[in-house]
Structure 1
């Protein structure tokens, strides 16, 4: 399959590392003008260099904005008023005992994981609808269907993301704009590697052994039996952004290694 996104602009939030950076690279290789978004000039500059070196593209742009806030979303919109592809990837997570998750933590995770996508989709979807073509993606998680006891607030926020995606797909029905959510499972991002390293030190095992232990203890239903690579998640994102995926909308697409015990 030859995916050609030439002349399309793609904004990917939270794209200075991990899954977001892999998606930006994949879209750029497919011909899109990628716009990466991060919270600091240093991280954005570093990501721009990585992407330029990896793809050979010289038209990749960067925006410094904290899209976990209304002000940051407004700053991104001011810098990039229109886009053809929007990937709402930015997100935060962290293990925390349910009884210790205070109102501030719930509010923060909703602002970053849910409201960032709501605000940006509210703006960019209008232009896509008017032009008759567009792709909006929300990066959810298998934790939306398999709420983890160690971070209930995260799972709830990702379930909300899927609800937003499904609702917006219905709003944009027949417009030429598709809206989907993507559900990764445990993925070997920088954050996950650091988390495994810390747990490995506590348990007195190697980081590789810790990944296997984590899956066995926390995601025992995995069929893949390993952490995914960010590029494996990015491959789904690139396809869903493509013209070939024009009949896929309102879907929750899983790249979670079979953790979710469901055939639907």
Structure 2
């Protein structure tokens, strides 16, 4: 399916690794010119270079979105070669070890700043151009914890609920403008870092030595109807679809993508 992204420019925040990198690569494979964002210039440039070697169009934007100055730097770099049509707010942090009694208000404030306000910074900087041109896509990457929180990392769950709410509120603001706003609430993601963590934990629990042995047991702790932990590309494919004209009637919603997760 041709997603009609040729000629569009996309900024994917937090795309120097993990899910963001997978999204940037998928958009580039569909013909979009992508801006790879990160705080580490070496890693960010390596992703952009790899995309170009694969035949895609990619530039970089370096900056810390947790600050107004950093967001301004990212904006300036992102629009250097043309306006941004697609904004994917993927950058974020999490702390799986956090608990209510051990998470001070300062940690909540930091989590909210990085996961929510950073997205707002980029929306406010890039949205006016989309509205003026009468076309654009704003996509928030959140988590299923936003609607299904657990006792652990409560501040992370709260920020994802905020991201989902932000997406819907923005859609109301953008009505009849040609710009849509949606969120993708992701379940588990098998990024390289997550793979290392789960394999290490699986070996410690005696689940086996290989990923093929460990994954079924890991999935059993948080089961889903598909039966595996999602690969980054499985989310990137959905984001690429939302970014194109074919998804023009999808607006103001949060798409929960978790393989049919259920409680045991």
Instruction: Work out whether the TM-score is over 0.5.
Output: yes
Displacement of 1:169: 0.6
Q: Which residue of 2 aligns with 1:204?
A: 206
Q: For the residues of structure 1 that align with 2:199 and 2:117, how far apart are their CA atoms?
A: 31
Q: Any runs of at least 4 consecutive aligned residues in structure 1 with deviations exceeding 4 A, and if so which?
A: none
Displacement of 1:253: 1.1
State the SS of the aligned residue for 2:138. strand
Q: For the residues of structure 1 that align with 2:192 and 2:150, how far apart are their CA atoms?
A: 20
- Please provide the CA RMSD for this pair: 1.6
Do the aligned partners of 1:184 and 1:254 also contact (CA within 8 Å) in 2? yes
Displacement of 1:254: 2.1
Q: For the residues of structure 1 that align with 2:78 and 2:262, how far apart are their CA atoms?
A: 37
Displacement of 1:80: 2.3
Q: Which residue of 2 aligns with 1:61?
A: 59
1:144 and 1:211, CA in 2 relative to 1: closer, same or farther beyond 3 A? farther
Moved more, 122-131 or 162-171: 122-131
Q: Which residue of 1 aligns with 2:136?
A: 134
Match of 1:73 among 71, 74, 81: 71
Q: Which residue of 2 aligns with 1:181?
A: 183
Q: TM-score, normalised by structure 2?
A: 0.92
1:68 and 1:211, CA in 2 relative to 1: closer, same or farther beyond 3 A? farther
1:25-64, aligned counterparts within 5 Å? 25-53=25-53, 55-57=54-56, 59-64=57-62
Moved more, 94-103 or 202-211: 202-211
Match of 2:172 among 170, 173, 179: 170
Displacement of 1:211: 3.6
1:148-167, aligned counterparts within 5 Å? 148-167=150-169
Q: Which residue of 1 aligns with 2:220?
A: 216
Displacement of 1:201: 4.2
Question: 5+ residue gaps in structure 1?
Answer: none
Displacement of 1:105: 1.4
Do the aligned partners of 1:145 and 1:260 also contact (CA within 8 Å) in 2? no
Question: 5+ residue gaps in structure 2?
Answer: none
Structure 2 residue 86 is the aligned partner of structure 1 residue 85 = yes
Number of aligned positions between the proteins? 257
Displacement of 1:131: 0.7
